[in-house]
Amino acid sequence: MFQERYNRIVLPFFFLSELFLLAGVYLFTMGISLSNAGIDLLVISIIWALPSLFFRSYRAPRTHSRVAALRPQTKTIAIFSSLYFGFSTLGFLSFTFINDIIQFLLIVMIFQFIYSLLKYEFFHRYRLTGKNTRKVLLIGSLFNNDDFEKLKKDGLHYGYHITNKIHDVNNIEERLELIISQNKIDLVFLRDLGDNISKKINNFCDQYGIRLKLLLNMDVIIGRKAGLDIMGGFPIMDVRKEPLLYLGNRLIKRSIDIIMAIISIIIVLSWLPLIIKLIQIFSSPGPLFFRQKRIGRDGEIFSLYKFRTMAHSNEARLAKDGKSEKTREGDNRVSWFGRLLRQTNFDEYPQFLNVLMGSMSTVGPRPHMVGEDHELAEHVNHYRMRRFVKPGITGLAAIKGYRGGTDDLDLMTKRTELDIWYLENWSLWLDIKIIAITIWQMATFRVPKAY
């Protein structure tokens, strides 16, 4: 519950508070009133927001190093300072005196570092109590009490709370099902066991959408040389290849998302809603937008935005909660104009708002309705693994025709396999290729299964 509030309320508050702090420092150092600083504040807010969103400096990092915790803020300040100098030189800001600029940037650096350090210290101590952490199940019989306590304590620094432990691996699948049914488990840490047991645990984790990490019986120095994280004296290795687990790849993908969202909102969403609303008035009166609960990364529920394509009816509330009937070919609930929007994918454009807010990505597995997602999780193997990444406006499965509502489990299995392949083989080039194919399909009215 706290993690949901942290993502939905606390993080936006941190981001906005950084902007307010920046504006306050600017007004104070430049000695001007708010009424005379509108354009300046807009410019510095934008050039701060871009690196802040890119490096996510508004977050409270999961690390036990203060240096590592301040690294995102350092990068944000460095980029902001460079942009600020550039915009001042080009005359976009009112004050261009070097003394004013240096004074302003120094005070910003001091206050933002202090603010970041306070955030880090608060959440670091908060996580040490076992809160705002990811719940971990530890499996293995080769731990003595000292090793276990060291691993448990060190794990809290990284935001991992070892809540359960399995020594005896007999009937391991039954034990795992019992623990999962009674506790929320985000990760499983596995210490060296036989191939047969390891395979069972791996299959179980895939089925339930739980990441599996191996605690290796390896010298710490060798582990560091291999680029592995060290926790409690154990090198840790991820079982599944996930390029987006690496910060650099996430930053690249996030930057593309921000660029795509801003371009789409400015170039398309600045005029398209007005045209759609005018046509809706005559073809299918009702709200302009349709908002529906969908399942996102890590199984979190978020509100997805679309242009409304169906007739506004009493079913709207069920649809909003993600529990309505799936859309089918020839569905009479879809208006003629709504069908046109679906065939061109223009109904999906408001989801760039979701992308900008961080609940979706431009490319990823398509998010399903809450009821549909829960049903598929019970009948499609490894379905929950697609929740490892953010859902997307378009995706590998979508451009290959595996999209839209269906009761065919074979088709859903193929869709899931493509989604898993995507998260295991992500690259910037793959995202660019999927985006290019999607644009081509929209331009040529060849969006597959767009009913």
For residue 47, which of 93, 113, 98 has the smallest C-alpha distance? 93
Q: Between β-strands 187-191 and 134-139, what pairing exists: parallel, antiparallel or unpaired?
A: parallel
User: Which among 61, 94, 128 is the end of a domain?
Assistant: 128
Joined together, the tokens standing for residue 393 give 């406006």
Q: Do 261 and 206 share a structural domain?
A: no
Neighbouring-strand partners of residue 235: 230
CATH number for 184: 3.40.50.2300
Q: Do 92 and 11 share a structural domain?
A: yes
Q: Do 15 and 111 share a structural domain?
A: yes
Q: Do 201 and 108 share a structural domain?
A: no
Q: pLDDT per position in the chain (451 positions), as tens?
A: 344 445 556 777 788 888 889 888 888 888 777 777 778 888 888 899 888 888 878 877 666 678 878 888 999 999 999 999 888 888 777 766 788 888 889 999 999 999 988 988 887 777 666 666 788 998 876 667 777 778 887 777 777 888 888 887 788 888 888 888 888 888 999 886 677 888 888 889 989 889 899 888 878 788 777 777 778 788 888 888 888 877 668 878 988 999 999 999 999 888 989 999 998 888 888 888 888 899 998 888 999 999 888 876 666 555 555 555 666 565 677 778 878 888 788 888 899 999 998 899 999 999 998 888 888 888 898 999 999 999 999 999 999 988 766 677 888 899 999 999 999 999 999 999 999 999 998 888 777 765 4
Q: Do 139 and 88 share a structural domain?
A: no
Q: Do 353 and 290 share a structural domain?
A: yes
Task: Domain of residue 177: give its range.
Answer: 134-240
**451 within some domain:** no
User: Which among 240, 263, 285 is the end of a domain?
Assistant: 240
Q: Do 176 and 97 share a structural domain?
A: no
Would you list the DSSP string of 21-46? HHHHHHHHHHT--GGG-HHHHHHHHH
Q: Do 262 and 384 share a structural domain?
A: yes
Residue position matching structure tokens 């036989």: 194
For residue 83, which of 47, 108, 52 has the smallest C-alpha distance? 47
State the sign of the Cα–Cα–Cα–Cα dihedral 310, 315, 320, 326.
negative
Q: Do 308 and 424 share a structural domain?
A: yes
Count up the domains in the chain and report the number.
3
User: Which among 128, 152, 187 is the end of a domain?
Assistant: 128
Q: Do 233 and 86 share a structural domain?
A: no
Q: Do 140 and 124 share a structural domain?
A: no
The distance of Cα 178 from the centroid of its chain, to the nearest Å, equals: 29
* pTM for this model (two decimals): 0.69
pLDDT at 331: 65
Q: Between β-strands 361-363 and 301-307, what pairing exists: parallel, antiparallel or unpaired?
A: unpaired
Q: Do 198 and 342 share a structural domain?
A: no
CB burial of 284-305 (b: ≥16 within 10 Å; e: otherwise) equals beeeeebebbbbbbbeebbebb
